[in-house]
Amino acid sequence: MAETRTRRPERREEPLSRERIVEAAIALLDETGEGGLTFRALARRLATGPGAIYWHVTGKDELLAAATDAVVTDAMVDAEATAATPGSSPVEAVRALAVGVFDAIDVHPWIGTQLARAPAQSPLLRVFEHLGRQVQALGVPHAAQFTAASALLNYILGVGGQNAANARHHRPGDTRTEFLGTVSDSWANLDPEEYAFTRGVAEQLRDHDDREEFLAGIDLIVAGIIGTYGITARP
């Protein structure tokens, strides 16, 4: 009589989903940048085959857009909460949204490029929509709302992207303080006639805080909007 073998229970793994794929793509992008995001590398991370990923995502462009959208959506949670808090002002909501996007780009430098690359796609439109609502809440005239929201958006993307680029240019092993110290020293040694202003602020560069400087710029833009259109706004 043949011996009956006990069949081992099959190991059940978490089913592959679009959400899992996007989460893994974000982690891979954070580690290796856009150049390191391939379906082969993603398949290894997910312990599956590239074909299974294509079932959920048609290609790299769609995957990058989905990953960017996921990060931006998370970044706007605090901003939405601030805007919904009774007694909060549009200025506070703008600052919360701006710093949320800034911090997201700081943690995930690759999204700065993605946001600038695809102005018609949903991640950027989400940010623009939320900025626009606060511009309306400030009382900016309709004819000037596009300009005001665009000025804020362009500043957020520009400074956030530049901050991410600066981080990528650090020499291996350098801290931010060491990097800024090196740049500050180079500014201080510029030609005093051709670069009088830059030399004069070299020490401010050495000691500045990127996040505080960014928010100071947001405040300047908002103050300009308020002053230009004679708006009475609670800070």
Q: For 46-81, what is each residue's pLDDT tens digit?
A: 999 888 998 999 889 899 989 999 999 888 887 777
In this predicted model, which residue has the larger pLDDT, 89 or 9?
Answer: 89
Instruction: Determine contact, residues 25/37, Cβ cutoff 8 Å.
Output: yes
Instruction: Determine contact, residues 213/205, Cβ cutoff 8 Å.
Output: no
Q: Worst-scoring range by mean pLDDT, 108-112, 171-175, 187-191, 194-198?
A: 171-175
Domains of the chain: 14-58 (1.10.10.60), 73-228 (1.10.357.10)
Question: 146 pLDDT exceeds 90?
Answer: yes
Residue 102 has a pLDDT of 92
In this predicted model, which residue has the larger pLDDT, 33 or 120?
Answer: 33
Structure tokens belonging to residue 139: 């009382």
Distance from the first to the final alpha carbon of the chain: 87
Residue of 137, 5, 126, 150 lying closest to 69 (CA atoms): 126
Mean pLDDT of 40-48: 93
Mean pLDDT of 218-230: 94
User: Among all chains, which residue has been given the structure tokens 């999204």?
Assistant: 111
User: Among all chains, which residue has been given the structure tokens 């090196």?
Assistant: 182
